[in-house]
């Protein structure tokens, strides 16, 4: 189905929500969410809604780069697959696009994956960016640059949902994405969200405890919200996405309260997978409970030489999920690697 179909009727629930939302920036997201079968936000995430092509063109013209990116706008006319998601993690974007760390220009890496996704013949239902959006200390100008780099996806009518990592600063992010700061969230101080889609419910948690402190913390309030919201939505497979790895992975300190988190998700059998970034290491394992543990690769640099950077093409089936590794270096041996995950009973 094309992305520009006009919605017929505003559901009552949506009308109530719209009443509280003044920003046209956000209402674009709601207008698009009215499309049949499209993912609905139960709560507002840190999200960058799709933008109009006219607005995108105007901005890119101002940036004197319009002509180079204009062909990608055709993506908005392409069909969308409601069960296909682009998963990004750890882009580490600095204000200055020329910034290089561990021999990687992070802006170039993000630009490469954005171009690839925007050029796909069938566009994904949306894009997740699983934390460490900012380069190092969550500067406001880092967020201005990353939102700019992500714009071609939004112009191609893909919503982009961002979570925060230990190199992010929540207040600075909110300051840059002003419209989102005003929006009612289920938790006042964290950016938790549930995103209901045709085959899975995504639960995106905010594990940023302190900027530049490596480990993370979900916290009791967010765990209580997770348990309650999982219980209220037990009829569909659930995927939990958090920036931090559970415990200690590859020597990288992760979630401090992962034991408490797993006490919530293990017995709730609708939870099928735990997705994380933070370690800059692509890996998929399964624990004894049947939960899949998916370590998303970084968009930016790797910590171990020879490991791949890139993004994951995730396709939802009724009984599982297919993950395909898309390397930035397409000659890397991991490029195109596919992991087929079957959901636990």
Least separation, in Å, of the C-beta of 165 and Zn ion? 6
**101 or 342: whose CB is closer to Zn ion?**
101
- Can you tell me whether residue 104 is helix, strand or coil? strand
Least separation, in Å, of the C-beta of 167 and Zn ion? 6
Cα 251 → chain centroid: 25
For residue 72, the 8-state DSSP code is: G
Least separation, in Å, of the C-beta of 168 and Zn ion? 10
Query: How many angstroms separate the CA atoms of 113 and 314, rounded?
Result: 14
**90 or 206: whose CB is closer to Zn ion?**
90
**113 or 321: whose CB is closer to Zn ion?**
113
**132 or 206: whose CB is closer to Zn ion?**
132
**304 or 331: whose CB is closer to Zn ion?**
304
**101 or 220: whose CB is closer to Zn ion?**
101
How does DSSP assign 160-183, residue by residue?
A: EEEE--TT--HHHHHHHSHHHHTS
**3 or 215: whose CB is closer to Zn ion?**
215
**In contact, 66 and 173? CB cutoff 8 Å:** no
Q: Calculate Rg over the CA atoms of the chain.
A: 19
Query: How many angstroms separate the CA atoms of 37 and 34, rounded?
Result: 8
Least separation, in Å, of the C-beta of 87 and Zn ion? 14
Query: How many angstroms separate the CA atoms of 96 and 78, rounded?
Result: 33
Residue number of the CB closest to Zn ion reads 132
Least separation, in Å, of the C-beta of 57 and Zn ion? 32
**In contact, 173 and 55? CB cutoff 8 Å:** no
**211 or 270: whose CB is closer to Zn ion?**
211
Least separation, in Å, of the C-beta of 246 and Zn ion? 16
Least separation, in Å, of the C-beta of 191 and Zn ion? 17
**In contact, 114 and 127? CB cutoff 8 Å:** no
Give 249's strand partners.
252
Q: Which residues bind Zn ion (CB under 5 A)?
A: 90, 132
Least separation, in Å, of the C-beta of 90 and Zn ion? 4
Q: Which residues neighbour 178 within 8 Å (Cβ) at sequence distance 6 or greater?
A: none
Helices marked H in the chain: 12-19, 24-33, 53-62, 66-69, 106-118, 140-155, 170-176, 178-181, 220-232, 258-265
Q: Two tokens at 260?
A: 């408490």
Question: Residue 71's CB: how many other CB atoms inside 10 A?
Answer: 10
């Amino acid at each position: 189905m094309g992305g520009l179909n006009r919605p017929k009727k505003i559901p009552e629930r949506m009308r109530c929500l719209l009443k509280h939302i003044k920003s046209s920036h956000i209402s674009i997201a709601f207008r698009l969410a009215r499309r049949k079968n499209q993912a609905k936000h139960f709560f507002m995430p840190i999200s960058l809604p799709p933008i109009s092509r006219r607005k995108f063109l105007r901005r890119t013209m101002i940036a004197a780069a319009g002509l180079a990116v204009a062909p990608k706008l055709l993506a908005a006319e392409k069909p969308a697959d409601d069960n296909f998601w682009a998963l990004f993690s750890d882009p580490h974007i600095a204000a200055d696009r020329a910034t290089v760390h561990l021999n990687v220009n992070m802006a170039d890496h993000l630009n490469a994956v954005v171009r690839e996704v925007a050029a796909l013949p069938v566009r994904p239902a949306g894009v997740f960016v699983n934390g460490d959006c900012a380069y190092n200390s969550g500067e406001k100008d880092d967020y201005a640059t990353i939102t700019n780099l992500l714009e071609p996806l939004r112009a191609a009518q893909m919503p982009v949902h961002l979570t925060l990592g230990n190199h992010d600063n929540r207040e600075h992010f909110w300051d840059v994405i002003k419209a989102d700061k005003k929006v009612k969230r289920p938790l006042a101080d964290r950016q938790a969200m549930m995103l209901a889609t045709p085959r899975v419910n995504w639960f995106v948690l905010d594990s940023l405890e302190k900027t530049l402190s490596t480990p993370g913390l979900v916290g009791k309030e967010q765990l209580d919200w997770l348990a309650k919201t999982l219980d209220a939505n037990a009829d569909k497979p659930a995927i939990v996405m958090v920036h931090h790895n559970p415990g200690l992975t590859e020597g990288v300190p992760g979630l401090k309260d992962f034991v408490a988190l797993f006490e919530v998700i293990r017995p709730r059998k609708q939870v099928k997978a735990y997705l994380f970034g933070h370690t800059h290491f692509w890996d998929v394992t399964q624990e004894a409970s049947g939960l899949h543990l998916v370590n998303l690769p970084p968009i930016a640099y790797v910590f171990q030489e020879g490991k791949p950077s890139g993004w994951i093409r995730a396709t939802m089936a009724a009984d599982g999920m297919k993950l395909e590794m898309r390397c930035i270096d397409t000659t890397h041996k991991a490029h195109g690697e596919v992991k087929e995950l079957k959901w636990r009973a």
